[in-house]
Structure 1
Amino acid sequence: MTAPGEQPAADPAHLAAFHLGLSAERRACLYLAAKGYRLLARRYRTPHGEIDIVARRRATLVFAEVKARNSLDEAAASVTARQQQRIATAASVWLAAHPDHANLDCRFDVILIAPKRFPRHLEAAFDTTSF
């Protein structure tokens, strides 16, 4: 039990998952930068959802979701249609806040992270026209 005004102790499993996510996002950012992308935002939060990475390469704006699991296949399977819709909605919010990027081509990518594996970058991993 905590005293008034005192923060409760963080759940160790939740804390471990949080740190795993941060580490995966760092790896994904380094990977994209090595591929020539310019990182514009990281962990962009909106009331509708969060975008892990916003990056640009030439005339293409990329909204990237980072997924870390025990295997790359597990990571790929964990991107749900509901998440895709939330990312698309959050991307609309980002574009409204950054109108200078509104004329760029937009793409939704997924970067898969697994232990002891090279990241896998799925370009145009999902299409938002069905939402």
Structure 2
Amino acid sequence: MAEPGDTARRMLRGRRANAAGREAEAAAAAALAREGWVVLARRARTPAGELDLVAEREGLLAFVEVKARPSLGEAAFALGARQRARLAAAAECWLAANPGHGAAGMRFDVVLVAADGTVRRIADAFRQGE
């Protein structure tokens, strides 16, 4: 049986996690913009799931998953096979709804954000079907 304060604590943790996720996505979007990427979408919802960021530079389309963890090492191991498959399916949905992007190709990037604000992008982090 749940204790009376459990629901409130769970809700507070959820709000904090959401805020931390939004801050990490903003840091990732800013880092991409500094590198010349145009962010086309943030938190893009599709029938197959959500894409954190969709960005394009010189016709190359990147579907970007943002992972915020206490350290870059922990963030690097936070993307499992099921999530990669969901991201690939969401990317297909986004492409179907937004034709005309990715003339130079597409890829999946992961942006790692550590608690100290360090941001590192892993370009072409995985391929569809891996």
Is TM > 0.5 for Structure 1 vs Structure 2? yes
Instruction: Point out 4+ residue stretches in structure 1 off by more than 3 angstroms.
Output: none
> Would the alpha carbon gap of residues 67 and 23 (structure 1) be closer, same or farther in structure 2, given more than 3 Å must change?
same
Letter in 2 for 1:128: Q
Give CA deviations for 1:65-120 in whole Å, capped at 9, x if unaligned: 00000000101101111111101000000100111115340000000001224201
Q: How does 1:105-124 map to 2 (within 5 A)?
A: 105-124=105-124
Say whether residues 1:38 and 2:12 are aligned partners: no
Deviation at 1:49, TM superposition (A): 1.0
CA distance in 2, matches of 1:79, 1:20: 17
Query: What TM-score do the two structures reach when normalised by structure 1?
Result: 0.88
8 Å CA contact 2:111, 2:119 repeated in 1: yes
Alignment correspondent of 1:101? 101
**SS across alignment from 1:110:** strand
- Show structure 2 runs of 5+ residues with no match: 1-6
Question: What is the aligned-residue RMSD (CA, Å)?
Answer: 1.6
Which residue of structure 1 lines up, in the alignment, with residue 128 of structure 2? 128
% identical equivalent positions: 46
- Structure with the higher fraction of residues in strand conformation: 2
| Structure 1 unmatched runs, 5+ | 1-7
SS at match of 1:75: helix
